[in-house]
Structure 1
Protein backbone atom coordinates (compact mmCIF):
# COMPACT_ATOMS: atom_id res chain seq x y z
CA UNK A 1 0.00 0.00 0.00
CA UNK A 2 2.83 2.42 0.86
CA UNK A 3 4.45 1.69 -2.51
CA UNK A 4 1.17 2.37 -4.36
CA UNK A 5 0.75 5.68 -2.53
CA UNK A 6 4.36 6.49 -3.42
CA UNK A 7 3.57 5.93 -7.12
CA UNK A 8 0.61 8.33 -6.84
CA UNK A 9 2.89 10.92 -5.24
CA UNK A 10 5.46 10.29 -7.99
CA UNK A 11 2.83 10.80 -10.68
CA UNK A 12 1.47 14.04 -9.21
CA UNK A 13 4.94 15.45 -8.55
CA UNK A 14 6.11 14.79 -12.09
CA UNK A 15 3.04 16.39 -13.62
CA UNK A 16 4.09 19.48 -11.66
CA UNK A 17 7.74 19.00 -12.67
CA UNK A 18 6.77 18.91 -16.35
CA UNK A 19 4.75 22.12 -15.97
CA UNK A 20 7.13 24.22 -13.83
CA UNK A 21 10.53 22.62 -14.51
CA UNK A 22 11.58 22.62 -10.85
CA UNK A 23 9.01 21.77 -8.17
CA UNK A 24 8.49 18.01 -8.58
CA UNK A 25 11.17 16.48 -6.36
CA UNK A 26 10.90 19.26 -3.79
CA UNK A 27 7.20 18.47 -3.46
CA UNK A 28 7.55 14.67 -3.49
CA UNK A 29 10.57 14.19 -1.23
CA UNK A 30 9.05 14.88 2.24
CA UNK A 31 6.07 12.56 1.64
CA UNK A 32 8.29 9.91 0.03
CA UNK A 33 10.62 9.94 3.06
CA UNK A 34 7.63 9.03 5.24
CA UNK A 35 6.47 6.31 2.82
CA UNK A 36 9.66 4.46 1.82
CA UNK A 37 12.57 5.94 3.81
CA UNK A 38 15.04 8.73 3.16
CA UNK A 39 17.82 6.77 1.38
CA UNK A 40 15.38 4.98 -0.92
CA UNK A 41 13.45 8.18 -1.67
CA UNK A 42 16.66 10.03 -2.56
CA UNK A 43 17.79 7.39 -5.06
CA UNK A 44 14.41 6.81 -6.73
CA UNK A 45 13.36 10.46 -7.02
CA UNK A 46 16.82 11.36 -8.29
CA UNK A 47 16.55 8.83 -11.14
CA UNK A 48 12.98 9.90 -11.93
CA UNK A 49 13.95 13.57 -12.03
CA UNK A 50 16.87 12.72 -14.32
CA UNK A 51 14.57 10.95 -16.79
CA UNK A 52 11.79 13.56 -16.74
CA UNK A 53 14.17 16.51 -17.07
CA UNK A 54 16.12 14.80 -19.86
CA UNK A 55 12.84 14.56 -21.78
CA UNK A 56 12.05 18.25 -21.16
CA UNK A 57 15.62 19.36 -22.01
CA UNK A 58 15.76 17.45 -25.32
CA UNK A 59 12.27 18.57 -26.35
CA UNK A 60 13.06 22.25 -25.60
CA UNK A 61 16.79 22.34 -26.40
CA UNK A 62 16.45 25.32 -28.76
CA UNK A 63 15.50 27.53 -25.79
CA UNK A 64 18.44 26.58 -23.52
CA UNK A 65 20.62 29.52 -22.38
CA UNK A 66 23.99 27.77 -22.32
CA UNK A 67 26.04 30.54 -20.67
CA UNK A 68 23.61 30.71 -17.74
CA UNK A 69 23.46 26.91 -17.60
CA UNK A 70 27.26 26.72 -17.30
CA UNK A 71 27.33 29.13 -14.34
CA UNK A 72 24.55 27.23 -12.57
CA UNK A 73 26.34 23.89 -12.98
CA UNK A 74 29.64 25.34 -11.70
CA UNK A 75 28.19 26.75 -8.46
CA UNK A 76 25.56 24.12 -7.77
CA UNK A 77 28.04 21.33 -8.51
CA UNK A 78 30.43 22.78 -5.95
CA UNK A 79 27.65 23.04 -3.38
CA UNK A 80 26.46 19.52 -4.10
CA UNK A 81 29.82 18.08 -3.03
CA UNK A 82 29.39 19.84 0.32
CA UNK A 83 25.80 18.60 0.61
CA UNK A 84 26.74 14.96 0.02
CA UNK A 85 29.42 15.26 2.72
CA UNK A 86 26.94 16.79 5.19
CA UNK A 87 24.36 14.05 4.53
CA UNK A 88 26.98 11.39 5.26
CA UNK A 89 28.29 13.04 8.44
CA UNK A 90 25.29 14.70 10.16
CA UNK A 91 22.45 12.82 11.90
CA UNK A 92 19.13 12.59 10.02
CA UNK A 93 17.37 13.36 13.31
CA UNK A 94 18.82 16.86 12.94
CA UNK A 95 18.73 17.21 9.15
CA UNK A 96 15.11 16.16 8.53
CA UNK A 97 13.44 18.79 10.78
CA UNK A 98 15.72 21.46 9.26
CA UNK A 99 14.67 20.27 5.81
CA UNK A 100 10.95 20.37 6.71
CA UNK A 101 11.26 23.89 8.16
CA UNK A 102 13.12 25.07 5.04
CA UNK A 103 10.41 23.75 2.70
CA UNK A 104 7.66 25.27 4.85
CA UNK A 105 9.38 28.67 4.88
CA UNK A 106 9.86 28.62 1.10
CA UNK A 107 6.18 27.78 0.57
CA UNK A 108 4.96 30.47 2.99
CA UNK A 109 7.24 33.08 1.44
CA UNK A 110 5.93 32.32 -2.05
CA UNK A 111 2.31 32.37 -0.85
CA UNK A 112 2.46 35.44 1.40
CA UNK A 113 5.16 37.50 -0.36
CA UNK A 114 4.95 36.44 -4.03
CA UNK A 115 6.82 39.54 -5.26
CA UNK A 116 10.43 38.73 -6.11
CA UNK A 117 12.95 40.76 -4.09
CA UNK A 118 15.82 42.38 -6.01
CA UNK A 119 19.06 40.78 -4.83
CA UNK A 120 22.71 41.78 -5.45
CA UNK A 121 24.77 39.55 -7.75
CA UNK A 122 26.87 37.99 -4.98
CA UNK A 123 23.73 36.93 -3.10
CA UNK A 124 22.21 35.41 -6.23
CA UNK A 125 25.40 33.41 -6.76
CA UNK A 126 25.27 32.37 -3.10
CA UNK A 127 21.77 31.03 -3.67
CA UNK A 128 23.21 28.71 -6.33
CA UNK A 129 25.82 27.37 -3.91
CA UNK A 130 23.12 26.84 -1.26
CA UNK A 131 20.89 25.15 -3.86
CA UNK A 132 23.71 22.72 -4.61
CA UNK A 133 24.20 21.93 -0.91
CA UNK A 134 20.49 21.20 -0.46
CA UNK A 135 20.44 19.15 -3.65
CA UNK A 136 23.37 17.05 -2.44
CA UNK A 137 21.52 16.31 0.80
CA UNK A 138 17.90 15.78 -0.34
CA UNK A 139 17.78 16.13 -4.17
CA UNK A 140 15.72 19.29 -3.55
CA UNK A 141 17.66 22.35 -4.65
CA UNK A 142 14.92 23.62 -6.95
CA UNK A 143 13.50 26.36 -4.75
CA UNK A 144 16.86 28.10 -4.36
CA UNK A 145 17.81 27.60 -8.00
CA UNK A 146 14.60 29.41 -8.94
CA UNK A 147 15.75 32.42 -6.88
CA UNK A 148 18.67 32.79 -9.30
CA UNK A 149 17.04 31.58 -12.52
CA UNK A 150 13.95 33.79 -12.20
CA UNK A 151 16.21 36.84 -11.77
CA UNK A 152 18.26 36.21 -14.93
CA UNK A 153 15.74 34.46 -17.24
CA UNK A 154 12.43 36.20 -17.90
CA UNK A 155 11.07 34.13 -20.79
CA UNK A 156 8.99 31.14 -19.60
CA UNK A 157 10.20 28.75 -22.32
CA UNK A 158 13.86 29.69 -21.79
CA UNK A 159 13.45 29.33 -18.02
CA UNK A 160 11.98 25.84 -18.24
CA UNK A 161 14.44 24.69 -20.90
CA UNK A 162 17.52 25.98 -19.03
CA UNK A 163 16.52 24.64 -15.60
CA UNK A 164 15.75 21.12 -16.88
CA UNK A 165 19.33 20.20 -18.00
CA UNK A 166 20.65 21.37 -14.62
CA UNK A 167 18.93 18.38 -13.03
CA UNK A 168 20.06 16.07 -15.84
CA UNK A 169 23.73 16.88 -15.24
CA UNK A 170 23.69 17.12 -11.44
CA UNK A 171 21.44 14.09 -10.93
CA UNK A 172 23.76 12.00 -13.09
CA UNK A 173 26.57 12.76 -10.65
CA UNK A 174 24.26 11.94 -7.73
CA UNK A 175 23.46 8.57 -9.33
CA UNK A 176 27.18 7.80 -9.52
CA UNK A 177 27.52 8.82 -5.86
CA UNK A 178 24.54 6.64 -4.87
CA UNK A 179 26.09 3.66 -6.66
CA UNK A 180 29.44 4.18 -4.93
CA UNK A 181 27.66 4.39 -1.55
CA UNK A 182 25.77 1.14 -2.22
CA UNK A 183 22.36 2.86 -2.17
CA UNK A 184 21.16 1.42 -5.50
CA UNK A 185 19.86 -1.85 -4.06
CA UNK A 186 17.82 -4.42 -6.01
CA UNK A 187 14.63 -3.34 -4.21
CA UNK A 188 15.22 0.33 -5.00
CA UNK A 189 15.84 -0.43 -8.69
CA UNK A 190 12.71 -2.61 -8.78
CA UNK A 191 10.53 0.23 -7.45
CA UNK A 192 12.24 2.62 -9.89
CA UNK A 193 11.47 0.34 -12.82
CA UNK A 194 7.81 0.05 -11.83
CA UNK A 195 7.64 3.83 -11.46
CA UNK A 196 8.67 4.50 -15.06
CA UNK A 197 5.09 4.03 -16.36
CA UNK A 198 3.45 6.65 -14.08
CA UNK A 199 6.48 8.87 -14.71
CA UNK A 200 6.07 8.90 -18.50
CA UNK A 201 2.31 9.36 -18.18
CA UNK A 202 2.90 12.31 -15.83
CA UNK A 203 5.37 13.97 -18.21
CA UNK A 204 2.97 13.59 -21.14
CA UNK A 205 0.04 15.06 -19.19
CA UNK A 206 2.19 17.82 -17.67
CA UNK A 207 3.44 18.93 -21.07
CA UNK A 208 -0.14 19.15 -22.34
CA UNK A 209 -1.30 21.13 -19.30
CA UNK A 210 1.71 23.47 -19.44
CA UNK A 211 0.56 24.90 -22.78
CA UNK A 212 -2.92 25.79 -21.48
CA UNK A 213 -2.80 26.48 -17.75
CA UNK A 214 -2.67 29.82 -15.97
CA UNK A 215 0.86 29.57 -14.56
CA UNK A 216 0.36 31.92 -11.59
CA UNK A 217 -2.73 30.05 -10.33
CA UNK A 218 -0.99 26.72 -10.73
CA UNK A 219 2.11 27.89 -8.86
CA UNK A 220 -0.06 29.09 -5.98
CA UNK A 221 -1.59 25.61 -5.70
CA UNK A 222 1.88 24.09 -5.92
CA UNK A 223 3.13 26.16 -2.99
CA UNK A 224 0.10 25.21 -0.87
CA UNK A 225 0.92 21.55 -1.52
CA UNK A 226 4.56 22.31 -0.76
CA UNK A 227 3.61 23.69 2.66
CA UNK A 228 1.66 20.53 3.43
CA UNK A 229 4.61 18.48 2.22
CA UNK A 230 7.00 20.31 4.55
CA UNK A 231 4.64 19.84 7.50
CA UNK A 232 4.59 16.09 6.84
CA UNK A 233 8.27 15.95 7.79
CA UNK A 234 7.76 17.94 10.99
CA UNK A 235 4.60 16.20 12.26
CA UNK A 236 5.13 12.49 13.08
Structure 2
Protein backbone atom coordinates (compact mmCIF):
# COMPACT_ATOMS: atom_id res chain seq x y z
CA UNK A 1 0.00 0.00 0.00
CA UNK A 2 1.26 3.46 -0.88
CA UNK A 3 1.65 6.24 1.66
CA UNK A 4 -0.52 8.24 -0.73
CA UNK A 5 -3.41 5.86 -0.02
CA UNK A 6 -6.05 7.95 1.80
CA UNK A 7 -7.09 4.90 3.86
CA UNK A 8 -3.63 4.80 5.41
CA UNK A 9 -4.05 8.44 6.38
CA UNK A 10 -7.47 7.62 7.83
CA UNK A 11 -5.67 5.13 10.07
CA UNK A 12 -3.37 7.93 11.25
CA UNK A 13 -6.42 10.11 11.92
CA UNK A 14 -8.11 7.26 13.85
CA UNK A 15 -5.03 6.85 16.05
CA UNK A 16 -4.96 10.61 16.69
CA UNK A 17 -8.72 10.77 17.32
CA UNK A 18 -8.82 7.97 19.90
CA UNK A 19 -5.71 9.30 21.63
CA UNK A 20 -7.47 12.67 21.92
CA UNK A 21 -10.70 11.06 23.16
CA UNK A 22 -8.82 9.16 25.85
CA UNK A 23 -7.19 12.43 26.97
CA UNK A 24 -10.21 14.74 26.81
CA UNK A 25 -13.24 12.40 26.74
CA UNK A 26 -14.74 13.67 23.50
CA UNK A 27 -14.75 13.61 19.75
CA UNK A 28 -13.26 10.44 18.27
CA UNK A 29 -15.64 10.30 15.28
CA UNK A 30 -15.84 14.09 14.81
CA UNK A 31 -12.04 14.35 14.68
CA UNK A 32 -11.41 11.27 12.51
CA UNK A 33 -14.27 12.12 10.14
CA UNK A 34 -13.41 15.81 9.77
CA UNK A 35 -9.75 15.07 8.96
CA UNK A 36 -10.63 12.05 6.81
CA UNK A 37 -13.21 14.04 4.84
CA UNK A 38 -10.37 16.11 3.42
CA UNK A 39 -9.31 12.97 1.52
CA UNK A 40 -12.26 10.56 1.38
CA UNK A 41 -16.05 10.71 0.86
CA UNK A 42 -18.00 10.84 4.12
CA UNK A 43 -20.38 7.97 3.17
CA UNK A 44 -17.37 5.70 2.51
CA UNK A 45 -15.89 6.31 5.97
CA UNK A 46 -19.01 5.95 8.12
CA UNK A 47 -19.33 2.12 7.81
CA UNK A 48 -15.76 1.94 9.14
CA UNK A 49 -15.75 4.61 11.84
CA UNK A 50 -19.15 3.83 13.35
CA UNK A 51 -18.52 0.11 14.12
CA UNK A 52 -15.08 1.00 15.49
CA UNK A 53 -16.68 3.43 17.94
CA UNK A 54 -18.95 0.68 19.30
CA UNK A 55 -15.90 -1.04 20.77
CA UNK A 56 -14.86 1.97 22.84
CA UNK A 57 -18.31 3.27 23.75
CA UNK A 58 -19.48 -0.23 24.73
CA UNK A 59 -16.49 -0.76 27.01
CA UNK A 60 -16.86 2.68 28.61
CA UNK A 61 -20.65 2.34 28.99
CA UNK A 62 -20.22 -0.96 30.86
CA UNK A 63 -17.40 0.44 32.96
CA UNK A 64 -19.50 3.47 33.99
CA UNK A 65 -22.92 1.75 34.07
CA UNK A 66 -23.65 2.74 37.70
CA UNK A 67 -23.63 6.43 36.66
CA UNK A 68 -26.03 6.12 33.71
CA UNK A 69 -29.25 8.12 34.18
CA UNK A 70 -31.68 5.62 32.70
CA UNK A 71 -34.74 7.84 32.96
CA UNK A 72 -33.12 10.66 30.97
CA UNK A 73 -31.62 8.19 28.51
CA UNK A 74 -34.74 6.11 27.80
CA UNK A 75 -37.51 8.71 28.11
CA UNK A 76 -35.93 11.74 26.44
CA UNK A 77 -32.59 11.35 24.66
CA UNK A 78 -32.85 7.99 22.89
CA UNK A 79 -36.40 8.32 21.47
CA UNK A 80 -35.70 11.76 19.97
CA UNK A 81 -32.23 10.86 18.73
CA UNK A 82 -33.32 7.57 17.18
CA UNK A 83 -36.07 9.38 15.25
CA UNK A 84 -33.59 12.05 14.18
CA UNK A 85 -30.97 9.45 13.25
CA UNK A 86 -33.39 7.63 10.94
CA UNK A 87 -34.29 10.96 9.33
CA UNK A 88 -30.61 11.80 8.81
CA UNK A 89 -29.81 8.32 7.49
CA UNK A 90 -32.73 8.59 5.07
CA UNK A 91 -31.54 11.99 3.86
CA UNK A 92 -27.99 10.88 3.02
CA UNK A 93 -28.78 9.30 -0.40
CA UNK A 94 -30.45 12.56 -1.44
CA UNK A 95 -27.40 14.71 -0.62
CA UNK A 96 -24.36 14.66 -2.86
CA UNK A 97 -20.85 14.34 -1.46
CA UNK A 98 -19.95 18.01 -1.77
CA UNK A 99 -23.10 19.12 0.04
CA UNK A 100 -22.44 16.60 2.81
CA UNK A 101 -18.92 17.98 3.22
CA UNK A 102 -20.23 21.54 3.29
CA UNK A 103 -22.84 20.72 5.94
CA UNK A 104 -20.32 18.81 8.01
CA UNK A 105 -17.84 21.68 7.67
CA UNK A 106 -20.48 24.10 9.01
CA UNK A 107 -21.18 21.77 11.96
CA UNK A 108 -17.47 21.45 12.80
CA UNK A 109 -16.91 25.21 12.44
CA UNK A 110 -19.84 26.00 14.74
CA UNK A 111 -18.77 23.43 17.33
CA UNK A 112 -15.09 24.41 17.43
CA UNK A 113 -15.79 28.15 17.23
CA UNK A 114 -18.35 27.98 20.04
CA UNK A 115 -16.04 26.00 22.32
CA UNK A 116 -13.08 28.33 21.69
CA UNK A 117 -15.30 31.35 22.39
CA UNK A 118 -16.59 29.82 25.63
CA UNK A 119 -13.05 29.02 26.77
CA UNK A 120 -11.80 32.50 25.86
CA UNK A 121 -14.68 34.24 27.68
CA UNK A 122 -14.87 31.76 30.56
CA UNK A 123 -18.60 31.27 29.93
CA UNK A 124 -20.72 28.68 31.74
CA UNK A 125 -23.45 26.71 30.01
CA UNK A 126 -26.98 28.01 30.55
CA UNK A 127 -30.08 25.82 30.58
CA UNK A 128 -32.35 25.93 27.52
CA UNK A 129 -36.17 25.95 27.59
CA UNK A 130 -37.53 22.40 27.47
CA UNK A 131 -38.89 22.78 23.92
CA UNK A 132 -35.52 24.01 22.60
CA UNK A 133 -33.63 21.27 24.40
CA UNK A 134 -35.87 18.64 22.77
CA UNK A 135 -35.58 20.27 19.35
CA UNK A 136 -31.79 20.32 19.63
CA UNK A 137 -31.79 16.67 20.74
CA UNK A 138 -33.83 15.76 17.66
CA UNK A 139 -31.40 17.79 15.53
CA UNK A 140 -28.51 15.95 17.14
CA UNK A 141 -30.09 12.71 15.97
CA UNK A 142 -30.29 14.06 12.42
CA UNK A 143 -26.60 15.04 12.43
CA UNK A 144 -25.79 11.62 13.84
CA UNK A 145 -27.66 9.94 10.99
CA UNK A 146 -25.83 12.13 8.48
CA UNK A 147 -22.32 12.13 9.97
CA UNK A 148 -22.38 9.90 13.10
CA UNK A 149 -21.59 13.17 14.90
CA UNK A 150 -24.53 14.04 17.11
CA UNK A 151 -22.33 15.03 20.06
CA UNK A 152 -21.93 18.77 19.42
CA UNK A 153 -25.68 19.44 19.17
CA UNK A 154 -26.64 17.03 21.95
CA UNK A 155 -24.16 18.49 24.44
CA UNK A 156 -25.44 21.96 23.51
CA UNK A 157 -29.04 20.77 23.88
CA UNK A 158 -28.34 19.40 27.36
CA UNK A 159 -26.52 22.58 28.44
CA UNK A 160 -27.24 23.61 32.00
CA UNK A 161 -28.30 20.11 33.04
CA UNK A 162 -28.25 19.39 36.76
CA UNK A 163 -26.40 16.10 36.22
CA UNK A 164 -22.87 15.97 37.56
CA UNK A 165 -20.00 15.37 35.16
CA UNK A 166 -19.70 11.61 35.71
CA UNK A 167 -23.45 10.98 35.27
CA UNK A 168 -23.68 13.13 32.15
CA UNK A 169 -20.59 11.49 30.61
CA UNK A 170 -21.83 7.95 31.34
CA UNK A 171 -25.26 8.76 29.89
CA UNK A 172 -23.78 10.29 26.74
CA UNK A 173 -21.48 7.30 26.23
CA UNK A 174 -24.54 5.04 26.43
CA UNK A 175 -26.24 7.18 23.77
CA UNK A 176 -23.31 6.70 21.36
CA UNK A 177 -23.23 2.97 22.02
CA UNK A 178 -26.96 2.59 21.29
CA UNK A 179 -26.99 4.88 18.23
CA UNK A 180 -23.82 3.53 16.69
CA UNK A 181 -25.03 0.00 17.29
CA UNK A 182 -28.27 0.89 15.46
CA UNK A 183 -26.34 2.53 12.61
CA UNK A 184 -24.12 -0.54 12.28
CA UNK A 185 -27.25 -2.68 11.83
CA UNK A 186 -28.40 -0.24 9.11
CA UNK A 187 -25.01 -0.54 7.39
CA UNK A 188 -25.35 -4.34 7.56
CA UNK A 189 -28.79 -4.15 5.97
CA UNK A 190 -27.75 -1.74 3.21
CA UNK A 191 -24.73 -3.87 2.32
CA UNK A 192 -21.98 -1.40 3.25
CA UNK A 193 -20.75 -3.12 6.43
CA UNK A 194 -19.52 -6.54 5.26
CA UNK A 195 -17.11 -5.25 2.56
CA UNK A 196 -15.50 -3.02 5.19
CA UNK A 197 -14.96 -5.70 7.88
CA UNK A 198 -11.31 -6.36 6.90
CA UNK A 199 -10.58 -2.62 7.07
CA UNK A 200 -12.34 -2.33 10.45
CA UNK A 201 -10.28 -5.27 11.79
CA UNK A 202 -7.05 -3.66 10.55
CA UNK A 203 -7.87 -0.42 12.40
CA UNK A 204 -8.78 -2.08 15.74
CA UNK A 205 -5.17 -2.17 17.02
CA UNK A 206 -4.93 1.59 16.37
CA UNK A 207 -7.94 2.14 18.61
CA UNK A 208 -6.29 0.18 21.44
CA UNK A 209 -2.96 1.99 20.99
CA UNK A 210 -4.75 5.36 20.93
CA UNK A 211 -6.61 4.66 24.18
CA UNK A 212 -3.44 3.45 25.96
CA UNK A 213 -1.42 6.40 24.66
CA UNK A 214 -4.17 8.82 25.66
CA UNK A 215 -4.38 7.42 29.19
CA UNK A 216 -0.60 7.72 29.47
CA UNK A 217 -0.70 11.37 28.34
CA UNK A 218 -3.86 12.31 30.25
CA UNK A 219 -2.09 13.38 33.46
CA UNK A 220 1.00 14.70 31.66
CA UNK A 221 -0.65 17.42 29.56
CA UNK A 222 -2.36 20.68 30.37
CA UNK A 223 -5.87 19.64 29.28
CA UNK A 224 -7.12 23.22 28.88
CA UNK A 225 -4.37 24.13 26.43
CA UNK A 226 -4.67 20.77 24.70
CA UNK A 227 -8.39 21.35 24.16
CA UNK A 228 -7.61 24.78 22.70
CA UNK A 229 -5.22 23.12 20.23
CA UNK A 230 -7.81 20.51 19.22
CA UNK A 231 -10.62 23.04 18.78
CA UNK A 232 -8.26 25.22 16.73
CA UNK A 233 -7.41 22.21 14.56
CA UNK A 234 -11.12 21.48 14.09
CA UNK A 235 -11.80 25.13 13.26
CA UNK A 236 -9.21 25.04 10.47
CA UNK A 237 -10.42 21.64 9.28
CA UNK A 238 -14.04 22.79 9.17
CA UNK A 239 -13.04 25.85 7.16
CA UNK A 240 -11.05 23.66 4.73
CA UNK A 241 -13.99 21.26 4.33
CA UNK A 242 -16.39 24.11 3.66
CA UNK A 243 -13.99 25.78 1.25
CA UNK A 244 -13.32 22.51 -0.57
CA UNK A 245 -17.04 21.85 -0.95
CA UNK A 246 -17.90 25.36 -2.14
CA UNK A 247 -15.02 25.94 -4.56
- TM-score for both structures, normalised by structure 2: 0.86
Confirm whether residue 106 of structure 1 aligns to residue 111 of structure 2.
yes
Aligned equivalent of 2:165 = 156
Aligned equivalent of 1:121 = 130
Task: Figure out how many residues of one structure are paired with residues of the other and give that number.
Answer: 235
CA distance in 1: counterparts of 2:221 and 2:161, whole angstroms: 23
Equivalent residue in structure 1 for 2:191, among 171, 175, 182? 182
User: Larger Cα Rg: Structure 1 or Structure 2?
Assistant: 2
Equivalent residue in structure 2 for 1:78, among 77, 83, 98? 83
Aligned equivalent of 2:155 = 146
CA distance in 1: counterparts of 2:15 and 2:236, whole angstroms: 17
1:33, distance to aligned residue in structure 2 (A): 2.3
Q: Deviations over 1:158-177 (max 9, x none)?
A: 22211111111111110111
5+ residue gaps in structure 2?
Answer: none
RMSD: 2.1
Aligned equivalent of 2:9 = 5
Which runs of 4 or more aligned residues in structure 1 lie more than 6 Å from their structure 2 counterparts after TM superposition? none
Alignment of 1:182-221 (within 5 A): 182-186=191-195, 188-210=196-218, 214-221=222-229
Structure 1 contact 87–137 (Cα < 8 Å) conserved: yes
Aligned equivalent of 1:56 = 60
1:215, distance to aligned residue in structure 2 (A): 4.5
5+ residue gaps in structure 1?
Answer: none
Q: Helix, strand or coil for the counterpart of 1:151?
A: coil
CA distance in 2: counterparts of 1:169 and 1:150, whole angstroms: 21
Structure 1 contact 11–199 (Cα < 8 Å) conserved: yes
Structure 2 contact 81–137 (Cα < 8 Å) conserved: yes
Aligned equivalent of 2:22 = 18
Q: Helix, strand or coil for the counterpart of 2:38?
A: helix
Query: CA 1:203 to 1:143, structure 2 compared with 1: closer, same or farther past 3 Å?
Result: same
- TM-score for both structures, normalised by structure 1: 0.90
